[in-house]
A and B are shown apart, each in its own frame.
Chain A
Protein backbone atom coordinates (compact mmCIF):
# COMPACT_ATOMS: atom_id res chain seq x y z
CA UNK A 1 0.00 0.00 0.00
CA UNK A 2 2.84 2.34 0.94
CA UNK A 3 4.62 1.55 -2.30
CA UNK A 4 1.47 2.27 -4.31
CA UNK A 5 1.10 5.66 -2.59
CA UNK A 6 4.73 6.46 -3.29
CA UNK A 7 4.24 5.45 -6.91
CA UNK A 8 1.16 7.66 -7.31
CA UNK A 9 2.92 10.63 -5.73
CA UNK A 10 5.87 10.05 -8.08
CA UNK A 11 3.51 10.10 -11.08
CA UNK A 12 1.99 13.35 -9.80
CA UNK A 13 5.45 14.84 -9.36
CA UNK A 14 6.36 13.88 -12.94
CA UNK A 15 3.10 15.35 -14.25
CA UNK A 16 3.80 18.60 -12.42
CA UNK A 17 7.41 18.71 -13.59
CA UNK A 18 6.41 18.32 -17.22
CA UNK A 19 3.05 20.12 -17.06
CA UNK A 20 4.10 22.88 -19.42
CA UNK A 21 5.67 21.97 -22.79
CA UNK A 22 8.98 23.80 -23.21
CA UNK A 23 9.03 23.81 -26.99
CA UNK A 24 7.85 27.02 -28.62
CA UNK A 25 4.33 26.30 -29.88
CA UNK A 26 4.72 27.76 -33.36
CA UNK A 27 2.08 27.16 -36.03
CA UNK A 28 4.13 24.30 -37.47
CA UNK A 29 4.48 22.55 -34.10
CA UNK A 30 0.77 22.99 -33.24
CA UNK A 31 -0.25 21.73 -36.69
CA UNK A 32 2.04 18.67 -36.44
CA UNK A 33 0.71 17.77 -32.99
CA UNK A 34 -2.91 18.22 -34.17
CA UNK A 35 -2.31 15.92 -37.18
CA UNK A 36 -0.64 13.40 -34.87
CA UNK A 37 -3.66 13.44 -32.54
CA UNK A 38 -6.05 12.80 -35.46
CA UNK A 39 -3.79 10.06 -36.83
CA UNK A 40 -3.64 8.26 -33.48
CA UNK A 41 -7.39 8.74 -32.91
CA UNK A 42 -8.18 7.07 -36.27
CA UNK A 43 -5.70 4.28 -35.57
CA UNK A 44 -7.22 3.59 -32.14
CA UNK A 45 -10.71 3.56 -33.72
CA UNK A 46 -9.50 0.98 -36.26
CA UNK A 47 -8.04 -1.17 -33.48
CA UNK A 48 -11.27 -0.96 -31.45
CA UNK A 49 -13.27 -1.88 -34.57
CA UNK A 50 -11.00 -4.87 -35.19
CA UNK A 51 -11.26 -5.94 -31.55
CA UNK A 52 -15.09 -5.75 -31.61
CA UNK A 53 -15.40 -7.61 -34.93
CA UNK A 54 -13.00 -10.36 -33.76
CA UNK A 55 -15.08 -10.85 -30.58
Chain B
Protein backbone atom coordinates (compact mmCIF):
# COMPACT_ATOMS: atom_id res chain seq x y z
CA UNK B 1 0.00 0.00 0.00
CA UNK B 2 2.82 2.32 0.94
CA UNK B 3 4.49 1.59 -2.42
CA UNK B 4 1.34 2.58 -4.34
CA UNK B 5 0.98 5.76 -2.30
CA UNK B 6 4.52 6.79 -3.22
CA UNK B 7 3.89 5.88 -6.86
CA UNK B 8 0.67 7.90 -6.91
CA UNK B 9 2.36 10.88 -5.25
CA UNK B 10 5.21 10.78 -7.78
CA UNK B 11 2.78 10.47 -10.69
CA UNK B 12 0.82 13.50 -9.43
CA UNK B 13 4.07 15.48 -9.08
CA UNK B 14 5.26 14.58 -12.59
CA UNK B 15 1.83 15.28 -14.07
CA UNK B 16 1.76 18.67 -12.36
CA UNK B 17 5.19 19.49 -13.86
CA UNK B 18 4.04 18.39 -17.33
CA UNK B 19 0.92 20.56 -17.07
CA UNK B 20 3.02 23.52 -15.93
CA UNK B 21 5.41 22.95 -18.82
CA UNK B 22 2.55 22.84 -21.33
CA UNK B 23 1.34 26.22 -20.05
CA UNK B 24 4.78 27.83 -20.26
CA UNK B 25 6.02 26.07 -23.42
CA UNK B 26 5.97 28.17 -26.55
CA UNK B 27 8.59 30.86 -27.03
CA UNK B 28 11.52 28.39 -26.89
CA UNK B 29 9.89 25.79 -29.12
CA UNK B 30 8.67 28.33 -31.69
CA UNK B 31 11.97 30.23 -31.94
CA UNK B 32 14.06 27.09 -32.18
CA UNK B 33 11.90 25.34 -34.77
CA UNK B 34 11.50 28.56 -36.75
CA UNK B 35 15.29 28.65 -36.76
CA UNK B 36 14.98 25.91 -39.41
CA UNK B 37 13.73 28.53 -41.86
CA UNK B 38 13.92 28.41 -45.66
CA UNK B 39 17.63 29.31 -45.61
CA UNK B 40 18.27 26.68 -42.94
CA UNK B 41 16.52 23.94 -44.94
CA UNK B 42 18.67 24.83 -47.97
CA UNK B 43 21.84 24.65 -45.87
CA UNK B 44 20.95 21.23 -44.39
CA UNK B 45 19.85 19.86 -47.78
CA UNK B 46 23.15 21.02 -49.31
CA UNK B 47 25.11 19.56 -46.35
CA UNK B 48 23.53 16.12 -46.83
CA UNK B 49 23.90 16.17 -50.62
CA UNK B 50 27.55 17.22 -50.45
CA UNK B 51 28.86 15.20 -47.49
CA UNK B 52 26.25 12.50 -46.90
CA UNK B 53 25.95 11.59 -43.19
CA UNK B 54 29.49 12.71 -42.36
CA UNK B 55 28.56 16.01 -40.67
CA UNK B 56 25.77 14.75 -38.38
CA UNK B 57 28.15 14.88 -35.40
CA UNK B 58 28.73 18.57 -36.12
CA UNK B 59 24.98 19.27 -36.12
CA UNK B 60 24.71 17.59 -32.70
CA UNK B 61 27.27 20.07 -31.37
CA UNK B 62 24.88 22.87 -32.29
CA UNK B 63 22.36 21.81 -29.60
CA UNK B 64 24.32 23.36 -26.69
CA UNK B 65 25.32 26.32 -28.89
CA UNK B 66 21.70 27.19 -29.63
CA UNK B 67 20.51 26.42 -26.09
CA UNK B 68 23.13 28.44 -24.15
CA UNK B 69 22.58 31.55 -26.26
CA UNK B 70 18.79 31.45 -26.31
CA UNK B 71 18.25 30.54 -22.65
CA UNK B 72 19.89 33.84 -21.71
CA UNK B 73 17.06 35.71 -23.48
CA UNK B 74 14.53 33.76 -21.35
CA UNK B 75 16.18 34.91 -18.12
CA UNK B 76 16.63 38.47 -19.36
CA UNK B 77 13.03 38.77 -20.58
CA UNK B 78 11.48 37.18 -17.49
CA UNK B 79 13.49 39.33 -15.06
CA UNK B 80 13.50 42.73 -16.82
CA UNK B 81 10.08 42.38 -18.55
CA UNK B 82 11.68 44.14 -21.50
CA UNK B 83 12.49 43.07 -25.02
CA UNK B 84 16.07 42.91 -26.27
CA UNK B 85 15.84 46.21 -28.20
CA UNK B 86 14.56 48.11 -25.15
CA UNK B 87 17.16 46.46 -22.92
CA UNK B 88 19.96 47.62 -25.26
CA UNK B 89 18.60 51.19 -25.45
CA UNK B 90 18.23 51.43 -21.68
CA UNK B 91 21.51 49.83 -20.70
CA UNK B 92 23.87 51.00 -23.44
CA UNK B 93 22.28 54.29 -24.53
CA UNK B 94 20.74 55.66 -27.70
CA UNK B 95 23.78 55.13 -29.99
CA UNK B 96 23.94 51.36 -29.54
CA UNK B 97 20.16 51.23 -29.36
CA UNK B 98 19.60 52.88 -32.75
CA UNK B 99 22.43 50.85 -34.26
CA UNK B 100 20.77 47.60 -33.14
CA UNK B 101 17.23 48.66 -34.07
CA UNK B 102 18.06 49.91 -37.58
CA UNK B 103 20.34 46.94 -38.23
CA UNK B 104 17.62 44.57 -37.00
CA UNK B 105 15.10 46.22 -39.31
CA UNK B 106 17.41 45.65 -42.33
CA UNK B 107 18.40 42.08 -41.42
CA UNK B 108 14.81 41.09 -40.67
CA UNK B 109 13.45 42.57 -43.87
CA UNK B 110 16.16 40.94 -46.01
CA UNK B 111 15.69 37.59 -44.25
CA UNK B 112 11.94 37.90 -44.77
CA UNK B 113 12.56 38.30 -48.51
CA UNK B 114 14.53 35.02 -48.49
CA UNK B 115 11.62 33.32 -46.65
CA UNK B 116 9.22 34.45 -49.37
CA UNK B 117 11.67 33.22 -52.03
CA UNK B 118 11.67 29.81 -50.30
CA UNK B 119 7.88 29.69 -49.94
CA UNK B 120 7.16 30.70 -53.55
CA UNK B 121 9.75 28.20 -54.83
CA UNK B 122 8.24 25.44 -52.66
CA UNK B 123 4.65 25.96 -53.83
CA UNK B 124 5.73 26.43 -57.47
CA UNK B 125 6.56 22.70 -57.36
CA UNK B 126 2.81 22.08 -56.98
CA UNK B 127 2.05 24.51 -59.81
CA UNK B 128 0.97 27.42 -57.59
CA UNK B 129 2.03 30.78 -59.06
CA UNK B 130 4.31 32.97 -56.92
CA UNK B 131 1.80 35.85 -56.68
CA UNK B 132 -0.87 33.50 -55.31
CA UNK B 133 1.57 32.20 -52.68
CA UNK B 134 2.52 35.73 -51.60
CA UNK B 135 -1.11 36.88 -51.28
CA UNK B 136 -2.08 33.70 -49.40
CA UNK B 137 0.84 33.99 -46.99
CA UNK B 138 0.24 37.68 -46.25
CA UNK B 139 -3.48 37.00 -45.68
CA UNK B 140 -2.84 33.91 -43.54
CA UNK B 141 -0.25 35.65 -41.38
CA UNK B 142 -2.44 38.73 -40.94
CA UNK B 143 -5.34 36.53 -39.80
CA UNK B 144 -3.09 34.66 -37.34
CA UNK B 145 -1.74 37.88 -35.83
CA UNK B 146 -4.98 39.88 -35.85
CA UNK B 147 -6.86 37.46 -33.58
CA UNK B 148 -5.94 39.66 -30.63
CA UNK B 149 -4.57 36.98 -28.31
CA UNK B 150 -0.97 35.89 -27.78
CA UNK B 151 -2.15 32.44 -26.66
CA UNK B 152 -4.03 31.75 -29.93
CA UNK B 153 -1.12 33.03 -32.03
CA UNK B 154 1.30 30.80 -30.14
CA UNK B 155 -0.81 27.68 -30.52
CA UNK B 156 -1.21 28.27 -34.28
CA UNK B 157 2.57 28.81 -34.55
CA UNK B 158 3.11 25.55 -32.62
CA UNK B 159 0.83 23.83 -35.15
CA UNK B 160 3.14 24.98 -37.94
CA UNK B 161 6.09 23.80 -35.83
CA UNK B 162 4.52 20.33 -35.81
CA UNK B 163 4.39 20.38 -39.61
CA UNK B 164 8.16 21.05 -39.59
CA UNK B 165 8.55 17.48 -38.33
CA UNK B 166 7.48 16.23 -41.79
CA UNK B 167 11.15 15.52 -42.51
CA UNK B 168 11.14 12.73 -39.92
CA UNK B 169 8.75 10.40 -41.83
CA UNK B 170 10.51 11.43 -45.04
CA UNK B 171 13.81 10.20 -43.57
CA UNK B 172 12.25 6.85 -42.59
CA UNK B 173 10.78 6.49 -46.09
CA UNK B 174 14.20 6.65 -47.73
CA UNK B 175 15.28 3.53 -45.77
CA UNK B 176 18.68 4.83 -44.71
CA UNK B 177 21.33 2.45 -43.45
CA UNK B 178 21.42 2.87 -39.65
CA UNK B 179 24.93 1.36 -39.58
CA UNK B 180 26.15 4.01 -42.06
CA UNK B 181 24.50 6.84 -40.09
CA UNK B 182 26.14 5.69 -36.86
CA UNK B 183 29.47 4.78 -38.45
CA UNK B 184 29.88 7.83 -40.65
CA UNK B 185 27.77 10.42 -38.86
CA UNK B 186 28.34 10.04 -35.15
CA UNK B 187 32.13 9.78 -35.17
CA UNK B 188 33.67 13.25 -35.62
CA UNK B 189 35.38 13.44 -39.01
CA UNK B 190 36.09 15.97 -41.73
CA UNK B 191 35.17 14.36 -45.06
CA UNK B 192 37.83 15.02 -47.68
CA UNK B 193 39.99 16.89 -45.18
CA UNK B 194 39.66 20.50 -44.10
CA UNK B 195 39.11 22.65 -47.17
CA UNK B 196 37.42 25.87 -48.16
CA UNK B 197 34.18 24.21 -49.29
CA UNK B 198 33.78 22.26 -46.05
CA UNK B 199 34.64 25.33 -43.96
CA UNK B 200 32.01 27.40 -45.81
CA UNK B 201 29.33 24.77 -45.18
CA UNK B 202 30.25 24.44 -41.49
CA UNK B 203 30.04 28.22 -41.15
CA UNK B 204 26.68 28.23 -42.97
CA UNK B 205 25.36 25.62 -40.51
CA UNK B 206 26.42 27.73 -37.54
CA UNK B 207 25.11 30.88 -39.21
CA UNK B 208 21.70 29.34 -39.62
CA UNK B 209 21.64 28.07 -36.01
CA UNK B 210 21.98 31.48 -34.37
CA UNK B 211 20.45 34.46 -36.17
CA UNK B 212 20.05 37.98 -34.73
CA UNK B 213 16.25 37.96 -34.98
CA UNK B 214 16.12 34.92 -32.66
CA UNK B 215 17.51 36.86 -29.70
CA UNK B 216 15.07 39.75 -30.19
CA UNK B 217 12.13 37.45 -30.93
CA UNK B 218 12.45 35.11 -27.96
CA UNK B 219 13.00 37.85 -25.41
CA UNK B 220 10.01 39.87 -26.67
CA UNK B 221 7.96 36.69 -26.85
CA UNK B 222 8.79 35.84 -23.23
CA UNK B 223 7.69 39.35 -22.21
CA UNK B 224 4.49 39.27 -24.29
CA UNK B 225 3.59 35.88 -22.83
CA UNK B 226 4.10 37.35 -19.38
CA UNK B 227 6.62 34.84 -18.05
CA UNK B 228 7.86 35.60 -14.53
CA UNK B 229 11.06 34.72 -12.67
CA UNK B 230 9.36 31.58 -11.28
CA UNK B 231 8.78 30.39 -14.88
CA UNK B 232 12.46 30.58 -15.87
CA UNK B 233 13.12 26.91 -15.13
CA UNK B 234 10.33 25.77 -17.45
CA UNK B 235 11.25 28.44 -20.01
CA UNK B 236 14.77 27.02 -20.11
CA UNK B 237 13.40 23.49 -20.49
CA UNK B 238 11.21 24.75 -23.34
CA UNK B 239 14.31 26.21 -25.04
CA UNK B 240 16.29 23.01 -24.47
CA UNK B 241 13.58 20.80 -25.98
CA UNK B 242 13.32 23.25 -28.88
CA UNK B 243 17.08 23.11 -29.51
CA UNK B 244 16.95 19.30 -29.62
CA UNK B 245 14.00 19.32 -32.04
CA UNK B 246 15.61 21.88 -34.35
CA UNK B 247 18.83 19.85 -34.63
CA UNK B 248 16.85 16.58 -34.97
CA UNK B 249 14.93 18.06 -37.93
CA UNK B 250 18.23 19.24 -39.47
CA UNK B 251 19.67 15.72 -39.09
CA UNK B 252 16.62 14.11 -40.71
CA UNK B 253 16.96 16.51 -43.69
CA UNK B 254 20.64 15.54 -43.98
CA UNK B 255 19.61 11.86 -43.91
CA UNK B 256 17.06 12.41 -46.72
CA UNK B 257 19.41 14.28 -49.07
CA UNK B 258 22.44 12.27 -47.93
CA UNK B 259 20.67 9.04 -48.90
CA UNK B 260 18.97 10.02 -52.14
CA UNK B 261 20.95 12.99 -53.47
CA UNK B 262 24.48 12.18 -52.34
CA UNK B 263 26.88 13.97 -54.68
CA UNK B 264 24.19 15.98 -56.47
CA UNK B 265 24.76 19.74 -56.77
CA UNK B 266 22.15 21.42 -54.55
CA UNK B 267 21.86 25.21 -54.68
CA UNK B 268 18.57 25.48 -52.83
CA UNK B 269 16.00 23.31 -51.07
CA UNK B 270 13.44 23.71 -53.86
CA UNK B 271 15.91 22.15 -56.32
CA UNK B 272 16.41 19.30 -53.85
CA UNK B 273 12.62 18.82 -53.63
CA UNK B 274 12.32 18.71 -57.43
CA UNK B 275 15.14 16.18 -57.68
CA UNK B 276 13.61 14.07 -54.90
CA UNK B 277 10.25 14.06 -56.72
CA UNK B 278 11.91 12.19 -59.58
CA UNK B 279 13.07 9.49 -57.16
CA UNK B 280 10.03 9.32 -54.88
CA UNK B 281 7.07 11.64 -55.41
CA UNK B 282 6.01 11.61 -51.75
CA UNK B 283 9.46 12.41 -50.38
CA UNK B 284 9.81 15.28 -52.86
CA UNK B 285 6.37 16.54 -51.84
CA UNK B 286 7.31 16.27 -48.13
CA UNK B 287 10.48 18.26 -48.82
CA UNK B 288 8.50 20.99 -50.63
CA UNK B 289 5.79 21.15 -47.92
CA UNK B 290 8.51 21.31 -45.26
CA UNK B 291 10.26 24.12 -47.12
CA UNK B 292 7.03 26.12 -47.37
CA UNK B 293 6.30 25.56 -43.68
CA UNK B 294 9.85 26.55 -42.74
CA UNK B 295 9.56 29.80 -44.71
CA UNK B 296 6.17 30.51 -43.15
CA UNK B 297 7.41 29.88 -39.60
CA UNK B 298 10.47 32.04 -40.21
CA UNK B 299 8.28 34.81 -41.63
CA UNK B 300 5.86 34.63 -38.66
CA UNK B 301 8.69 35.12 -36.16
CA UNK B 302 10.89 37.55 -38.07
CA UNK B 303 8.13 40.04 -38.89
CA UNK B 304 7.01 39.99 -35.26
CA UNK B 305 10.57 40.47 -33.97
CA UNK B 306 10.76 43.80 -35.85
CA UNK B 307 7.31 45.00 -34.81
CA UNK B 308 7.92 44.17 -31.13
CA UNK B 309 11.29 45.97 -31.21
CA UNK B 310 9.82 49.12 -32.78
CA UNK B 311 6.90 49.10 -30.37
CA UNK B 312 9.23 48.84 -27.37
CA UNK B 313 11.31 51.85 -28.45
CA UNK B 314 8.64 54.12 -29.90
CA UNK B 315 6.36 53.46 -26.95
CA UNK B 316 3.53 52.04 -29.07
CA UNK B 317 1.30 49.35 -27.63
CA UNK B 318 3.06 46.24 -28.88
CA UNK B 319 1.37 43.11 -27.66
CA UNK B 320 -0.40 40.34 -29.53
CA UNK B 321 -2.97 40.59 -26.73
CA UNK B 322 -4.09 43.98 -28.07
CA UNK B 323 -6.64 44.68 -30.78
CA UNK B 324 -5.80 46.64 -33.94
CA UNK B 325 -7.52 49.76 -32.56
CA UNK B 326 -5.39 49.63 -29.40
CA UNK B 327 -2.05 49.02 -31.16
CA UNK B 328 -2.41 50.33 -34.73
CA UNK B 329 1.28 51.05 -35.31
CA UNK B 330 2.32 47.61 -34.09
CA UNK B 331 0.08 45.93 -36.66
CA UNK B 332 0.82 48.50 -39.41
CA UNK B 333 4.59 47.95 -39.06
CA UNK B 334 4.00 44.18 -39.08
CA UNK B 335 1.92 44.37 -42.25
CA UNK B 336 4.25 46.80 -44.08
CA UNK B 337 7.34 44.65 -43.31
CA UNK B 338 5.50 41.55 -44.50
CA UNK B 339 3.93 42.99 -47.64
CA UNK B 340 7.03 44.84 -48.90
CA UNK B 341 9.21 41.74 -48.42
CA UNK B 342 6.59 39.59 -50.17
CA UNK B 343 6.58 41.83 -53.24
CA UNK B 344 10.33 41.48 -53.90
CA UNK B 345 10.34 37.87 -55.25
CA UNK B 346 7.55 38.92 -57.65
CA UNK B 347 9.70 41.63 -59.29
CA UNK B 348 11.10 40.25 -62.55
CA UNK B 349 14.91 40.13 -62.41
CA UNK B 350 15.04 41.05 -58.70
CA UNK B 351 18.61 40.47 -57.40
CA UNK B 352 17.64 37.58 -55.12
CA UNK B 353 21.13 36.04 -54.99
CA UNK B 354 22.56 39.43 -54.04
CA UNK B 355 19.89 39.79 -51.32
CA UNK B 356 20.79 36.36 -49.91
CA UNK B 357 24.47 37.33 -49.74
CA UNK B 358 23.60 40.72 -48.29
CA UNK B 359 21.63 39.03 -45.47
CA UNK B 360 24.79 37.20 -44.40
CA UNK B 361 26.88 40.37 -44.47
CA UNK B 362 24.42 42.61 -42.62
CA UNK B 363 23.72 39.86 -40.07
CA UNK B 364 27.44 39.82 -39.26
CA UNK B 365 27.25 43.47 -38.20
CA UNK B 366 24.33 42.84 -35.83
CA UNK B 367 24.91 39.36 -34.41
CA UNK B 368 28.21 40.04 -32.56
CA UNK B 369 26.83 43.25 -31.08
CA UNK B 370 23.59 41.60 -29.96
CA UNK B 371 25.48 38.67 -28.42
CA UNK B 372 27.98 40.88 -26.59
CA UNK B 373 25.13 43.00 -25.22
CA UNK B 374 23.36 39.82 -24.12
CA UNK B 375 26.33 38.62 -22.05
CA UNK B 376 26.93 42.07 -20.56
CA UNK B 377 23.27 42.39 -19.62
CA UNK B 378 23.28 38.93 -18.03
CA UNK B 379 26.23 40.07 -15.89
CA UNK B 380 24.44 43.16 -14.63
CA UNK B 381 23.85 41.89 -11.08
CA UNK B 382 21.94 45.03 -10.11
CA UNK B 383 19.21 44.17 -12.61
CA UNK B 384 19.47 40.40 -12.85
CA UNK B 385 20.04 39.61 -9.16
CA UNK B 386 20.17 35.85 -8.56
CA UNK B 387 19.46 35.22 -12.27
CA UNK B 388 22.73 36.81 -13.42
CA UNK B 389 25.24 34.56 -15.17
CA UNK B 390 27.29 32.32 -12.90
CA UNK B 391 31.03 31.89 -13.54
CA UNK B 392 30.42 28.59 -15.33
CA UNK B 393 27.63 30.10 -17.45
CA UNK B 394 29.94 33.00 -18.32
CA UNK B 395 32.75 30.68 -19.39
CA UNK B 396 30.46 28.51 -21.55
CA UNK B 397 28.47 31.37 -23.07
CA UNK B 398 31.57 33.52 -23.71
CA UNK B 399 33.31 30.61 -25.47
CA UNK B 400 30.23 29.96 -27.60
CA UNK B 401 29.74 33.65 -28.39
CA UNK B 402 33.42 34.15 -29.35
CA UNK B 403 33.22 31.07 -31.60
CA UNK B 404 30.01 32.29 -33.24
CA UNK B 405 31.47 35.78 -33.75
CA UNK B 406 34.68 34.46 -35.36
CA UNK B 407 32.90 31.98 -37.64
CA UNK B 408 30.03 34.28 -38.61
CA UNK B 409 32.52 37.07 -39.36
CA UNK B 410 34.53 34.75 -41.60
CA UNK B 411 31.27 33.65 -43.21
CA UNK B 412 30.25 37.27 -43.85
CA UNK B 413 33.70 38.18 -45.20
CA UNK B 414 33.70 35.12 -47.46
CA UNK B 415 30.33 36.32 -48.81
CA UNK B 416 31.88 39.76 -49.48
CA UNK B 417 35.12 38.38 -50.95
CA UNK B 418 34.37 34.88 -52.30
CA UNK B 419 37.95 34.29 -53.50
CA UNK B 420 39.61 35.24 -50.22
CA UNK B 421 39.66 31.74 -48.69
CA UNK B 422 40.28 29.81 -51.91
**B372 engages A36 (CB within 8 Å):** yes
**B93 engages A19 (CB within 8 Å):** yes
Count of B interface residues, CB-CB < 8 Å: 27
Task: Annotate A8-44 by CB proximity to B: 1 below 8 A, 0 otherwise.
Answer: 0010001100111111100011001100100110011
CA distance A38 to B377 in the complex (A): 20
A18 → chain B closest CB, angstroms: 4
B416 surroundings in chain A (CB, below 8 A): 46-47, 50
**B417 engages A14 (CB within 8 Å):** no
- Residue among A14, A21, A43 making CB contact with B91, cutoff 8 Å: A21
Given A24-B380, A36-B372, A18 and B365 touching (CB < 8 A)?
A: no
Task: Annotate B93-120 by CB proximity to A: 1 below 8 A, 0 otherwise.
Answer: 1101101000000000000000000000
**A29 engages B314 (CB within 8 Å):** no
B94 surroundings in chain A (CB, below 8 A): 14-15, 18-19
**A21 engages B93 (CB within 8 Å):** yes
**A29 engages B368 (CB within 8 Å):** no
**B361 engages A33 (CB within 8 Å):** no
A12 → chain B closest CB, angstroms: 10
A42 → chain B closest CB, angstroms: 10
User: Residue of A at shortest CB range from B99?
Assistant: A40
A40 surroundings in chain B (CB, below 8 A): 99, 365, 369
- Residue among B314, B368, B379, B417 making CB contact with A10, cutoff 8 Å: B314
A18 surroundings in chain B (CB, below 8 A): 89-90, 93-94, 97
User: In chain B, residues 347-395, which have Cβ atoms closer than 8 Å to a Cβ of chain A?
Assistant: 361, 364-365, 368-369, 372, 376-377, 379-380, 382
How extensive is the interface on chain A, given as a class?
20 to 34
Given A39-B368, A40-B369, A32 and B376 touching (CB < 8 A)?
A: yes
CA distance A24 to B365 in the complex (A): 24
A41 → chain B closest CB, angstroms: 11
**A22 engages B417 (CB within 8 Å):** no
**B90 engages A22 (CB within 8 Å):** yes
**B89 engages A46 (CB within 8 Å):** no
Does B92 make an interface contact (CB < 8 A)? yes
B93 surroundings in chain A (CB, below 8 A): 18-21
A52 → chain B closest CB, angstroms: 12
B418 → chain A closest CB, angstroms: 11
A46 surroundings in chain B (CB, below 8 A): 413, 416
User: Residue of A at shortest CB range from B417?
Assistant: A50
Q: Chain B residues in contact with chain A, CB under 8 A?
A: 89-94, 96-97, 99, 313-314, 361, 364-365, 368-369, 372, 376-377, 379-380, 382, 409, 412-413, 416-417
Supply 5 further A-B pairs (C-beta < 8 A) apart from A19-B94, A20-B93: A22-B90, A39-B409, A40-B99, A40-B369, A43-B365
